[in-house]
Amino acid sequence: MDAGHPPLLGRHFEARFEVRGTLGAGGAGIVYRAFDRQLQREVALKLLRQASGRDLYRFKREFRALADIVHPNLVALHELHAADGDWYFTMELVEGVSFIDWVRPGKAAGPARNRADITSAALDERRLRGALVQLVDALLALHKAGKLHRDLKPSNVLVTQTGRLALLDFGLVTGLAEGNPERLAVGTPVYMSPEQASDQKLSEASDWYSVGAMLYEALTGRRPFEGDSEQVMLRKQAEQPRPPQQIATGVPVDLAKLCMALLAAQPAERPGGDRVLQQLGARPSAFTRGMAQSYMPAAFVGRELEIDALRDALEAAGDTGMTVLIRGKSGIGKSTLVRRFLGDRAGAIFAIEGRCFEREAVPFKMLDGVVDATTAVIMELLPEEIEHLAPGDLGSLVRMFPVLRRIARFSELAAQSPEPVDPQELRRRGLRALKGLLAKLARLRPVVMFVDDAHWGDVDSALFLADLIHASEPGLLLVIAHRPEDYLGIVAQLRRPPGGNARRGDIRELAVSGLTDDEATSLVTQLAVDASRAQTAVAAAGGNPLVLTELARATALDAGARMEDVVRARMARLPPEVQAMLAVSSIAARPLPVEIAAHAAGVVGGHDEAAQLSNERLATLRQVEHRGEAKMILHPAHDYVRAAVLASLDTETKAGWHEALARAFEAVQGEEHLDSQAVVEHWLAAGHPANAAHHAVGAARAAEDAFAFRRAAELYEIALSYGPWDAMGQRDLLRSKAHALVCAGQLDEAAEVFGRAAELLDDAEAVDLERLRVEALLRRGRLDEALPAAETLLAHLGLRIPLGAPASRTKLATQWVQMKLRGHDYVERGVSEIHPADLLVIDVLHSITSGLAFADPALGRVVQSELMRAALDAGEPVRMCLALAQEVGYAAAAGSRNRVVVEAVGKRLLSIAQRLDHRELVGFADTAIGIASHMSGRWRDARGHLESGLAMLRDHGSGVRWEIDVGDSFWLASLFYLGEWHEMARMTQLLLRDAIDRADVVAQQGLRIGCCTYAWLLGDQADEAQAQLAIAERTLGPGFHLPHFHAMTSAANIALYQGRAGEAIERLDDTAAQVERLGCARMQLPRTELAMLRARAALADTSRLLEDRVREARVQGDSLLKEGAPWASALGHLVRAASYAWIGTANAARVELLAAEEQLLGAGMMGLLQVARLRRGRLEGGAAGDARAEAARDFLKDLGAIAPDAVATHLLPWPS
């Protein structure tokens, strides 16, 4: 080992590779002999020695250049790794001697060496001819793949004792199109071509010169030119070497002639690989012939209209974003079309491509490849560009898609970005950050995101993509290719605007049909097949480009031949081990790592077999990076291949292959990195459900870790269905499934699963599971089921709490007296000091009262009193906080008259939470105080507390998604009352998209009714508001509860905005009795909102007598003035002002408006303040009045009212 080699003997790379010696070194890399512990074999490991940018670039290129090119005479590359700051890859360890030592064996001893002496050993002509054929065939294959070697020399060509030649050291490999992009004289001077020595453009002929130089040395024992490097390079420009037969005796004439032809000074005069093989009496191997076809430029004809449609879509996307849904049958050319379009615009756009596979079950599988491609795109950018791309919440995004850590700057920033504790919140932020990242990328250059085979997609990804489709994101063109058969309903879901919103991004449909006969003929002409075969292929292909190409390339084609016949004929030519590899890749129906395919097929290594499948165009072999490693992935070339393979297998054989695949995953990946979801699928298909159940648990947990909660629930059900679980084991799995469903927003299903779990055993945990069932039912609004279950649960705990309305009111009166006598003093105790049964009682009461608080507060108040008593008696501080958080809200329901009590409870709540230094509890406390402030009409206080509390819950809360959603609804309502209408509308629609992304029906419901209706009314979108309400009403449970009340007020407000005041009044009258039973009259906020709504509807209903309208409005206005709350009084003055205006008493109206303005300003209600000023300006008239009115109108526009006059008429009906 020379001084430049780091002392690595015995070192372990990632605990997998143990270095056992040094094999050689180049300018940028050192090659070691290493032992692969995972695969139990020796490999060659090439490590980047110098970390300059150019070295790293060349190092990566060396691997990528050959990763997809496999040939028996090209050294087999294995995996690319990046770990602990090192870049290295592993490859086949070739035990052999150099080319010269092999053909002149007299002096060959030990490993290959880079000879500097003149070779005097005798030539073995038989060895030379055999090795030369292999070398030429390997180099020809490399050229067919579009690559140059640029550093051919004897030490880069090894021959084993069996005579197998291996071409290695591709450190200088480059694409043919690149030539010599760096304009550097790279290579070894003795063997490089004249044009290479003079920094001219290189070609295939440059490599053939190097072959000629090696052949010269083999024939003569000398090199074509001797001297130092500079002399050699100069002589090549002006001299021809002496013919070999003038230097050595017995030189074969044909080889001497070939040698001199290869050493021609002019590249055009040198023979190419096919001619060299012909002169050697050989022909290209099957591998090389297959390589020629695999890397043949894709023939492309027609599709002008389709290309034009994509071009137009890309142009339109610059302003508003665009989506193109491309529909067509398998093989019709959807993917080829899009890739041609992308290729024509390389460098002008960011092309991001992903693909879905039928059996692939990775989380967010429509996004997985897209994020991989996005990562690769970003890694090619300048550091300053990358710096500006990082979105907010990068930590959450990187947690969801770890591949982004490959971007060094993203990895650094993600480490500094806090991650929320709650998995639902993390998922929400991560997806939001992905949208932000794509938007920022689109500002640098137009982004074309191509999702292929979307019909095999998943719901989680579809929800995200639907949001992208229907949101206006300038510079983003989303191209989605799919078959006409939408197997899973994924494409239909993409077409639906999220939440029923009006489309803001444009969707265009593009159907790709078969080629015309003329286009088909043109295509086969490009493929250079004979006329008779071309005519037969065109007749049989039916315009399908893939079928046409395969039929045209078939070596024999009978009239009437089908695609299936061609595939079967090609399969029949394969050796058994290669057929086995094709069978397992077809059975897998997803990209399969070569080592797993090989293990399942019973093949050693598998790379040669995979290469043969690729060369025969039966499979695609490509490199992907996974967990920092480059893996060779194999899958059938197209659906016709897979269909033909599967048709040839009987049911029993298929099951056997599934079992082999399951065992291969287990053996190759090990427990730590096992793709459990794939293993589950294969064990099920193999007919071994018990084995599938064992892995389904791990797969479910992995899905939860990846925030794919729906998939996790499905996997838990598989485990439950097939596993040999006892009652305890079943219960644990049911509980896990239910929690996954809660995280997925599926409360209906979660309640049912919690119920199944509770029935299995009769113990304390069963009671807790029943608590969770009742909690889910209450939060979902299914009180018809929840209330009887809650009463039964309470009775089981020894609590007789009637949840019927009359009995509950009697109970509440009794409890109020008892609590007055008891007081709020308590003795603090730790959890260990309290009997578990007492803690369980508190937890049950909290679940019930929290669920009732926003469904039936009157009933909730009854349970809340019991909760407070139990929490005070126990004295456990965390539960005390949770009880007080509920208490402050219930206390605030009475309104401003209860402000002293509300403030006292809130202060005590916050002090306990802060003393405990419990961030989640502090978040609960602030959120609860914010809700109480809102219910008391203190909108500014409400906004401040809610923003602080919700931020704390999002960052540090766990399992608090429902509480966050409730807090968000109150925060949005506070923004409405404050007049921050633009922000309210924007955030309502943003939060609604988030709720849709996670399929949370309850959250969506709350964001479509109540004050949130104004997110559309203020934008003059009454029809959209009606559509949102209709969606929400379909999700309401039976009965009439608080959500029904908010839906009713939304319906009335929409009707009022649309000039249908009579319908608004009818809706209010029809539900009056239900509103009374709900107890809204005992809660100030809904009581006040309802009075104001009735007053506005009465004033606006011009179909009734004016006297009746004014009388009704004044009754409601007087009730508002009696509330004793400044904000309610302000509404009362507005109603009275309008009443006076309708009967023509202008002075009185002006006085009431001034009184209203003063109180509105004090309450911070800027929207209604501007409505009052607008009305007063119009009332006063004149220049000053008109100016005041116009200023107020402009102010309303600035606040977010698109149609300020319509909004003013809606909020305060006024005579024209």
Instruction: Enter the tokens of residue 460.
Output: 């989680």
Residues 61 and 164 in one domain: no
The amino acid occupying position 1192 is: A
**768/638: higher pLDDT:** 768
> 625: part of which helix (H) or strand (E)?
strand 619-626
- The whole-chain average pLDDT of the chain stands at 85
Q: Are residues 73 and 122 in the same domain?
A: no
- Look up the domain containing 826 and give its range: 809-955
Q: Residue 177 is part of a domain; what is its CATH number?
A: 1.10.510.10
Report the alpha-carbon distance of residue 631 to residue 230 in Å, rounded.
Answer: 42
Question: What percentage of the chain carries pLDDT values higher than 70?
Answer: 87
Helix (H, G, I), strand (E, B) or coil at 618: coil
At 111, the pLDDT band (50, 70, 90 cuts) reads: very low
DSSP code of residue 358: S
- β-bridge partners, 29: 48
For position 117, what pLDDT does the model report?
41
Which two tokens mark 326?
């491309």
pLDDT range class, residue 585, cuts 50, 70, 90: very high
The residue out of 507, 539, 561 marking a domain boundary is: 561
Residue 504 pLDDT exceeds 60: no
Band of residue 532 on the pLDDT scale cut at 50, 70, 90? low
In a domain, 392, yes or no: no
- 9-47 in b/e form (b: 16+ CB < 10 A) is eeeebeebbbbeebbbbbebbbbbbbbbeeeeebbbbbb
Q: pLDDT category, 626, cuts 50, 70, 90?
A: low
User: Rounded to the nearest 10 degrees, what angle do helices 1084-1100 and 919-935 cross at?
Assistant: 40
Q: What average pLDDT does this structure show over 236-245?
A: 86
Closest CA to 844 of 926, 768, 745: 768
* 18, 154: one domain: no
Asked if residue 461 is part of any domain, the answer here is no
In tens, the pLDDT along 1170-1201 reads 999 999 999 999 999 999 999 999 999 999 99
pLDDT value, residue 402: 80
Confidence of residue 349 (pLDDT cuts 50, 70, 90): confident
CA dist 988 and 973 (Å) reads 10
- Is residue 289 scored above 80 in pLDDT? no
Nearest Cα to Cα of residue 226 among 117, 102, 101: 117
Token readout for 664 is: 């291969």
Q: What six digits make up the tokens of 846?
A: 């909290």
Same domain, 127 and 55: no
- String of DSSP letters for 924-950: HHHHHHHHHHHHTT-HHHHHHHHHHHH
Residue 375 has what pLDDT? 87
pLDDT of residue 502: 45
Whether residue 456 has pLDDT greater than 70: yes
pLDDT at 791: 92
Identify whether 1119 is part of a domain. Answer: yes
Answer yes or no: is pLDDT of 616 > 70.
Answer: yes
pLDDT at 319 over 80: no
Angle at 1072 between CA 1071 and CA 1074, to 5 degrees: 65
For residue 753, tell me if it sits in a domain.
no
Lowest mean pLDDT among 242-246, 404-408, 429-433, 1193-1197: 404-408
* Structural tokens at position 67: 């990763």
Looking at 955, 980, 1009, the residue that finishes a domain is: 955
Between 412 and 1165, the more confident residue is 1165
| Bridge partner residues of 88 (DSSP) | 47, 81
Shared domain for 85 and 123, answered yes or no, is no
pLDDT beyond 80 at 75: yes
Nearest to 1176 by CA among 1151, 1142, 1196: 1151
Residue 113 pLDDT exceeds 70: no
Q: Are residues 939 and 835 in the same domain?
A: yes
Query: How much is the average pLDDT of 882-906?
Result: 91
pLDDT, tens digit (0-9, with 9 covering 90-100), for 997-1011: 777 889 999 999 999
Do 266 and 163 fall within a single domain?
A: yes
Q: What is the dihedral of CA 828, 833, 838, 841, to 10 degrees?
A: 60
Q: 146 and 81, same structural domain? A: no
pLDDT (0 to 100) of residue 770? 96
Q: Is it the case that residue 1152 has pLDDT exceeding 80?
A: yes
For residues 49 and 173, state if they share a domain: no
Residue range 882-891: mean pLDDT, rounded: 93
Does 330 reside within a domain? no
Note the pLDDT of residue 817: 46
Say how far apart CA 132 and CA 272 lie, in whole Å: 14
Predicted confidence (pLDDT) at residue 491 exceeds the cutoff of 80: no
Residue bearing the bigger pLDDT, 7 or 37: 37
In this structure, the answer to whether residues 131 and 277 fall within a common structural domain is yes
- Count of domains for the chain: 5
Same domain membership, residue 945 and residue 854: yes
Residue 694 within any structural domain of the chain: no
Each residue of 1008-1054: pLDDT tens digit?
A: 999 999 999 999 999 999 999 999 999 998 899 999 999 999 999 99
Based on the domain organization, do 74 and 131 belong to the same domain? no
Three-state SS for 570-608 is: HHHCCCHHHHHHHHHHHHHCCCEEHHHHHHHHCCCCCHH
Q: Would 39 be classed as within a structural domain?
A: yes
| pLDDT score for 566 | 80
Residue 610 vs residue 599, higher pLDDT: 599
Last residue of a domain, one of 266, 288, 310: 288
Tell whether 492 is covered by a domain.
no
Which residue would you say has higher pLDDT here, 180 or 159? Answer: 159
